[in-house]
Amino acid sequence: MSIIQVKELSKVYGEGNSTVTALNGIDLSVEQGQFVAVMGPSGCGKSTLLHLIGGLDRPTSGSVWIEGKDISVMKDDNLTELRRRRMGFVFQFFNLIPVLNAKENAALPLILDGVKPETAYARAAEWLERNQMGDRLNHRPDQLSGGQQQRVAIARALVADPVMLLADEPTGNLDSKSSDEIAGLLRHAVSDWGRTVLMVTHDPRIAAYADRIVFLKDGRVVDDTLLDAGNADNSRLLKEKVNLL
Amino acid sequence: MSVRYALLGLLKQQPRYGYELRAAFIALAGGVEAWEVKPAQIYTTLNRMVESGLVEKQLNESDGSDEKVVFSLTPSGEAEFAGWLGQGILDDPQQDPFYLKLMLSLELPDVDAGRLIQTQRATLYQELHRITTVRTSLDPHTELARILLMDKAIMHLEADLRWLDMIEARLEDVKKQPAPHAELRPRGRPARTA
């Protein structure tokens, strides 16, 4: 069973003469433990796709299935709970609460879910520790660099132990060194912490950290490539070179 | 071409045995994955430089194999090396195999340029992924030079990807323009066969 499945998904905005078709009948499957990048020119529908998968918006037609459940027909309450428990979100502009410190920001999803503050803060501290932010638990966002803020945001996204992370241009607001670090952290979340990551990006360098790239254009999938494809080919090339030594 | 100058540089450091030179070149260039060079190529280059007086071959009691001969730099060779150091170097990005593919696709009715672009894009991303994986495994405390080499590869791939986006955006316009004209000088008529 695919962890994310999208069937003939369409999203149309506006009415009459001013309709915009953001997504035009998309089919897509993501398996558990995959790191998928979604790319395409401005206006291709990639952010819309992410929002629909994350249940942050409803489709015009078609369906979105998360862990085998059709979320497009779910009631708001159930959808909110599913989102809070099974998904973690990472945004371009971090979206941290300025008056809360790192630990408090990271603990927020658990607090909102009714978890005891003690427990929530302990789990938040654990995730911040794993994200190399253990020595800045009491720092507020304005005392942190962009890369550090995004690490807090990723800890927040993981604190409820979700199966997947949905990231919308997670490095869009970072310099190239921090971008590489954050992309590496998302890679880590897949390879070492067993999550599934779906990431929208326009940056090829960052997309290269993924296992697979889905290319969108004008609301449609125009290509879908595995990045580690031809493992057999790769090992053949290597053997050839060894013989030449 | 640069192999020959790198050998001159390595010999400027100290005279070396033939077999040492190949290993030293590969280490210098960033490893076998970065720059593969066959032993024959090294020895051919060395011997040519011996003929042009840039390098000297010290004949010992070797069995005639270049591997066990000591090579050293001559004053001519040193001057040649200094000349190379003093000049800037340009690659030729205009000899581009993908460009040939693209221009052919415009002439052949059953070849889809859009598909070619997407195939090339996928290949570039696969290579970018491979290089990024290698780069991530390198230790910045001891392998920084190699990291810089990977960075160059990454930047070039990024540039190639941007170029593909550009071609894609202007493809329809390119298709409408006249094909490049082959210039033929007038010659006699081809001979008739009976």
Judge: A223–B38 Cβ closer than 8 Å, yes or no: no
B126 CB near a chain A CB, below 8 Å? yes
From the list A205, A215, A229, which residue is nearest B126 (CB)?
A229
Check: CB of residue A160 under 8 Å from CB of residue A106.
no
CATH number belonging to domain B2-85: 1.10.10.10
The rounded distance, in Å, linking the Cα atoms of A10 and A26 is 7
Per-domain boundaries in chain B: 2-85, 97-176
- Closest-CA residue of chain A to B38: A244
Domains of chain A (ranges, CATH numbers): 4-95+163-239 (3.40.50.300)
Cα A187–chain centre separation: 11
Model pLDDT for residues A15-44, shown as the tens digit of each residue: 888 899 999 999 999 999 999 999 999 889
Radius of gyration of chain B (CA): 24
Which of the pair, A56 or B109, is modelled with greater confidence?
A: A56
ipTM: 0.83
Judge: B121–A245 Cβ closer than 8 Å, yes or no: no
Give the residue-averaged pLDDT of A51-55.
96
Reported confidence tier of residue A245, pLDDT bands at 50, 70, 90: very low
Q: What is the pLDDT of residue A177?
A: 92
Contacts of A40 by beta carbon, 8 Å cutoff, 6+ apart: A46, A215, A216, A217, A222
Best of B26, B125, B150, B154 to substitute, by most chain A Cβ atoms within 10 angstroms, is: B125
Kindly list the residues from chain B whose CB atom is less than 8 angstroms away from the CB atom of residue A208.
125, 128-129, 131-132, 154
Model pLDDT for residues B118-164, shown as the tens digit of each residue: 999 999 999 999 999 999 999 999 999 999 999 999 999 999 999 99
Cα dihedral sign for A6, A10, A13, A14?
A: negative
Q: What is the pLDDT of residue A172?
A: 95
User: Which amino acid belongs to residue B56?
Assistant: E
B99 CB near a chain A CB, below 8 Å? no
Q: What is the pLDDT of residue B106?
A: 86
Give the residue-averaged pLDDT of A170-182.
95
Check: CB of residue A54 under 8 Å from CB of residue A87.
yes
Reported confidence tier of residue A232, pLDDT bands at 50, 70, 90: very low
pLDDT of A234 over the 60 cut: no
Model pLDDT for residues A80-109, shown as the tens digit of each residue: 999 989 999 999 999 999 999 999 999 999
Reported confidence tier of residue A237, pLDDT bands at 50, 70, 90: very low
